[in-house]
Structure 1
């Protein structure tokens, strides 16, 4: 079964952009995920995303998903209320980012959505999104990694589509990691995060951040391992990319 309604790589080419879920800058607002400075808020930042530009990926062993939308890369939407489960559908409402300065780009950005306890991750789900972004995406069931207990703050990753991976890390919400390079060797993928500027001011919290990485279309089918390095990301070894493409 197809897990997506659109390849985001086809929308933005090889852009590597970060969108931090529940992330904010040092002043308490959401942190920008592009290297360019923010500009005045524009309709791109708050308009409803077309229904064909919704994606989803499993994260954190199935405890959470990343919902991927298109718009200003520095102003990913936030979850409004609690997601609900009914008849094979995960319903999520997204609200506008609290930021008032947004970049004018149009890029994929990810919002982290925690799932209710007891969600059956072995079955397929339709992710239905409404609010400032509207549309649906499909998630095939996981064959393993059913959620147990509390999250342990370890990095995780999941397939959004054939070439786009959502990566969940934990650290300062004011300094989410940005992708510097991606190297693939068969079923092994290495993502190098950029070193933050020495004068960058980071908040002292520990929060989840979701980074999107374009890995190309040459990765073979089957299980894929991901190695993370740089960017002050605490990753002790390879992780398995969840889901199917």
Structure 2
């Protein structure tokens, strides 16, 4: 009887550990999954009758230096930062500052550019795409902070 109880406990412990590993595998990485020059393509581009600009990054926002939008059904977040074309500001990691229901706010780390690197004086958009963080939601406005700038992404 004693060995049966020990075996049962060992089995339950194994199931618990396996569950932790499986659930942690579902958590998307905070690292960038894609990075490219220019603006992301809107989910509604070319569709008639959508009647809204939800999720559409506009050129005016991009010329101010920062824009963000949900991609797809909200599974990805595109952050566009304007800067030099030869030394583009590339997002490296998204960090949850305030969870959904508590502010829904993230910050984006940007790769450092070496001080001795020569950069052009142009001002062009560069987009970095991240998996949407687990603890934020598309059903509340999302505040995205990059350095001392911030932008609010509307509800998806």
| Separation in 2, partners of 1:183, 1:166 | 14
- Do 1:163 and 1:217's aligned partners in 2 also have CA atoms closer than 8 Å? no
Q: 1:168 aligns with which of 80, 97, 100?
A: 80
- Do 1:165 and 1:215's aligned partners in 2 also have CA atoms closer than 8 Å? yes
Deviation, 1:211, is 2.0
Partner SS, residue 60 of structure 2: coil
The change in CA–CA distance for 1:202 and 1:144 in structure 2 (over 3 A counts) is closer
Structure 2 unpaired stretches of 5+ = 1-27
- Do 2:81 and 2:90's aligned partners in 1 also have CA atoms closer than 8 Å? no
- Do 2:93 and 2:110's aligned partners in 1 also have CA atoms closer than 8 Å? yes
Residues paired across the two proteins, number: 116
Deviation, 1:193, is 0.8
Partner SS, residue 203 of structure 1: coil
| Separation in 2, partners of 1:243, 1:177 | 26
**What does the per-residue CA deviation read over 1:207-232, in whole Å, with 9 as the maximum and x for residues that have no partner?**
12222233423213211111112xxx
- Do 1:18 and 1:176's aligned partners in 2 also have CA atoms closer than 8 Å? no
Alignment TM-score, normalising by the size of structure 1: 0.39
Partner SS, residue 151 of structure 1: helix
- Do 2:140 and 2:154's aligned partners in 1 also have CA atoms closer than 8 Å? no
The aligned counterpart of 1:189 is 106
**What does the per-residue CA deviation read over 1:82-132, in whole Å, with 9 as the maximum and x for residues that have no partner?**
xx95x61xxxxxxxxxxxxxxxxxxxxxxxxxxxxxxxxxx528xxxxxxx
Deviation, 1:144, is 10
**What does the per-residue CA deviation read over 1:181-224, in whole Å, with 9 as the maximum and x for residues that have no partner?**
32112101111112112333322211122222334232132111
Q: 1:66 and 2:45 equivalent?
A: no
Partner SS, residue 35 of structure 2: coil
Structure with the largest fraction of helix = 2
Alignment TM-score, normalising by the size of structure 2: 0.58
Structure 1 unpaired stretches of 5+ = 1-12, 22-64, 69-83, 89-122, 126-140, 230-234
**RMSD over aligned Cα atoms:** 3.3
- Do 2:86 and 2:120's aligned partners in 1 also have CA atoms closer than 8 Å? yes
The aligned counterpart of 2:17 is none
